[in-house]
């Protein structure tokens, strides 16, 4: 019983504790002496509101912690235009930290929405074999957007991406083609066409090469040589899209519910003791068949009919319709003796 109680308590508490810890991202390791830190965010999948929240946190913490840069390692097929615009705004408004977008690993893509993030970055880089482009706006199911709405969406996207490219001295003509004609290029082509600044096999090399570069739209110069990479994984809520604290109450209720079951079980066990065999000692029952040493009879007590033997074999047999007191248990029978009512005493005695 105790072990079950401890297990139930531990289960409820463990669930609540796990939920709390799941929304805490690991502390940054101590920086090298006088060395820069670069906060690294991983975006692998569709661009949506959860990615926006994630990058907003990483960029904000990088600025608060005076990080040398934020590096977004990107591999995406695209995503929400609204989320894309929000992230472009985050990158552009990060006035205290440069943002590097690195399309990786090998064969990764920065398609559709990812192209906008690449164009918005202070440093655009790709790994060999990766691709970017195909940024034409489409409907929720991937279908073309018809009529005037489609034209407006396309023109708005062209205005955004060409503005980003021009401000950062990148190929605005190709950027427009990526939106209007779904143009796409590989990493080597992107480098030759002034779409990105670097094509390197790993992020460390990108940061070494970019050291000393000026962020085109910010009054910042990258100081990323020999930088320590600090991974910034998504928290529970950023990954799953809802607050983990919503699970704390079920965890607590689980623990309390388990405690309630244990208490009920204990009470039930105690009740069994008080109302079961042990609880029958001293009870008065009605003799139904003659009880003697040579012929055990039956007594009705505690709502049931029991086999009964006399306490003293020398006593006279107990006849039916008389009363007897249960004094002992013996195997599956009861031991009884004649019930003698105590004489009543007068108030004056």
**Dihedral of the alpha carbons of 45, 50, 52, 57, in degrees to the nearest 10:** -120
Cβ neighbours around 235 below 10 Å, total? 16
- Predicted pLDDT at 10: 59
The separation between CA 152 and the C-alpha centre of its own chain, rounded to angstroms, equals: 40
The mean pLDDT value of the chain amounts to 84
Predicted confidence band of residue 142 (pLDDT cuts 50, 70, 90): confident
Residue range 236-250: mean pLDDT, rounded: 63
- Predicted pLDDT at 141: 75
Active-site residues, by number, are 112, 152
Any idea where the domains of the chain sit in the sequence? Answer: 24-242, 278-338
- Predicted pLDDT at 54: 97
Q: Render the burial of 109-124: b for 16+ CB within 10 Å, e for the rest.
A: bbbbbbbbbbbbbbbb
* CA 154/CA 291 separation, integer angstroms: 103
pLDDT, tens digit, 9 for 90 and up, residues 186-203 = 999 999 999 999 999 999
Predicted confidence band of residue 118 (pLDDT cuts 50, 70, 90): very high
- Predicted pLDDT at 84: 96
Residue 241 vs residue 43, higher pLDDT: 43
DSSP letters spanning 73-133: EEEB--B-HHHHHHHHHHHHH-TTS-EEEEE-STT-EEETHHHHHHHHSSEEEE-TT-EEE
Percentage of residues in the chain having pLDDT higher than 90 = 57
Q: Is the pLDDT of residue 120 over 60?
A: yes
Residue 336 vs residue 209, higher pLDDT: 209
Residue range 324-337: mean pLDDT, rounded: 84
Cis peptide before 105 (omega within 30 of 0): yes
Spatial contact of 257 and 162, defined as CB atoms under 8 Å apart: no
Residue range 56-79: mean pLDDT, rounded: 97
Residue range 168-175: mean pLDDT, rounded: 98
* CA 188/CA 106 separation, integer angstroms: 12
Fold of 278-338: OB fold (Dihydrolipoamide Acetyltransferase, E2P) (2.40.50)
Fold of 24-242: 2-enoyl-CoA Hydratase; Chain A, domain 1 (3.90.226)
* CA 301/CA 286 separation, integer angstroms: 7
């Amino acid at each position: 019983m105790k072990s079950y109680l401890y297990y139930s308590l531990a289960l409820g508490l463990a669930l609540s504790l796990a939920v709390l810890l799941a929304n805490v991202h690991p502390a940054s390791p101590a920086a090298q002496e006088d060395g820069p830190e670069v906060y690294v965010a991983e975006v692998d999948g569709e661009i949506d509101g959860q990615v926006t929240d994630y990058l907003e946190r990483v960029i904000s913490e990088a600025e608060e912690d005076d990080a040398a840069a934020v590096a977004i390692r990107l591999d995406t097929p695209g995503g929400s235009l609204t989320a894309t615009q929000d992230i472009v705004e985050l990158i552009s408004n990060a006035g205290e930290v440069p943002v590097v977008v690195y399309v990786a690993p090998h064969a990764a893509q920065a398609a559709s929405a990812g192209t906008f993030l690449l164009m918005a970055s202070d440093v655009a880089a790709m790994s060999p074999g990766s691709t970017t482009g195909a940024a034409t706006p489409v409907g929720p199911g991937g279908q073309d957007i018809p009529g005037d709405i489609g034209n407006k969406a396309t023109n708005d996207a062209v205005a955004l991406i060409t503005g980003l490219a021009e401000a950062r001295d990148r190929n605005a003509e190709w950027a427009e083609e990526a939106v209007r004609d779904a143009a796409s290029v590989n990493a080597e082509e992107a480098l030759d066409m002034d779409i990105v600044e670097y094509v390197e096999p790993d992020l460390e090399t990108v940061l070494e090469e970019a050291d000393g570069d000026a962020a085109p739209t910010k009054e910042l110069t990258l100081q990323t040589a020999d930088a320590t990479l600090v991974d910034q994984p998504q928290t529970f809520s950023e990954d799953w899209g809802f607050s983990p604290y919503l699970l704390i109450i079920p965890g607590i209720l689980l623990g309390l519910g388990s405690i309630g079951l244990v208490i009920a079980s204990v009470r039930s066990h105690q009740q069994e003791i008080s109302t079961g065999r042990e609880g029958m000692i001293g009870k008065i029952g009605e003799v139904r068949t003659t009880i003697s040493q040579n012929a055990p009879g039956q007594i009705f007590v505690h709502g049931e009919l029991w086999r009964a033997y006399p306490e003293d074999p020398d006593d006279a047999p107990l006849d039916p319709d008389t009363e007897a007191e249960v004094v002992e248990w013996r195997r599956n029978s009861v031991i009884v003796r004649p019930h003698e009512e105590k004489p009543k005493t007068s108030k004056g005695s």
